[in-house]
Amino acid sequence: MKNIIFLAPPAAGKGTISNFLKETYGYQHISSGKIFRERIKQNENQEGELNEIIKSGKLVNDELLFRCIKEKLQIISKEKYFILDGVPRTLQQAKFLDIILRDLGFLDYIVINIKVKKEILHLRFTGRRICPNCQKTYNIFFEKFKPHKKLTCDDCGLLLKERVDDTEESFRVRYETFVKNNEEIVKYYKEKNCLYELDYNDDDQATLKEIQRIVGAFVDK
């Protein structure tokens, strides 16, 4: 097997794909967004600036980003493989990430570039609702992702909430930033011969079948 790095625009479905890989192959999922949200929750007074950056959709500075990622990589089990999403967002980050992975002994990875149409991303992003207890994610615009009872978690019965960064302005900034930077990141990983492309628009089963084809080729290797 190989470690996985996701390149993807906001609301591309990384969580759905990651959960499938966790259940199928036992991957560990490292999400920079989740790391920052947990950090804000635990240190509300100290992380005010970070909170504002996340809400606006702007990129967190590289020093803080890689300090958090490195801390997480140092404590995960090296007996299992990991999925890393939310980084890199720039070519400079991609190069620096290579240094960190090399220094920590994570030399074997593939990169999966997830492609989704902008209009679908917009609906996934602005329609996302999350249970404050179990963190299960729903979407008010897609029938198959709606809760059984309006705005209520199926499992916990609690009122679903919007993430503070799931705003129209945040989507615009994050999407434009992604488009601006991703082309040269893709080129960088293509030249390293480790890049795979994955279309994920509306057919979940076809997407999961394709991700299984890509990842499954490296099982027991």
Angle at 107 between CA 18 and CA 217, to 5 degrees: 50
Which residue among 14, 37, 124, 129 is the active-site one? 14
Examine the residue annotation and report whether 128 is marked as an active-site residue of this protein.
yes
Token pair listed for 102:
């090399």
Range 186-192, long-range pairs (CB < 8 A, 24+ positions): 186/7, 186/113, 188/91, 188/94, 188/95, 189/7, 189/94, 189/111, 189/113
Is residue 172 flagged as an active site residue?
A: no
Catalytic one among 34, 55, 115, 163? 163
The question of whether 39 is a catalytic residue gets the answer no
* Tokens matching residue 61: 């500075």
3-class secondary structure, 84? strand
**Catalytic member of 37, 124, 128, 129:** 128
The number of beta carbons lying within 10 Å of the beta carbon of residue 4 is 25
Cα dihedral 38→40→46→47 (10° resolution): 130
Told to judge if 89 belongs to the known catalytic residues of this protein, a careful annotator would answer yes
Based on the residue annotation, tell me whether 37 is a catalytic residue of this protein: no
Q: Catalytic pick from 2, 37, 129, 174? A: 174
User: Annotated catalytic residue: which of 37, 89, 124, 129?
Assistant: 89
Instruction: Give catalytic residues, as residue numbers.
Output: 14, 89, 128, 163, 174
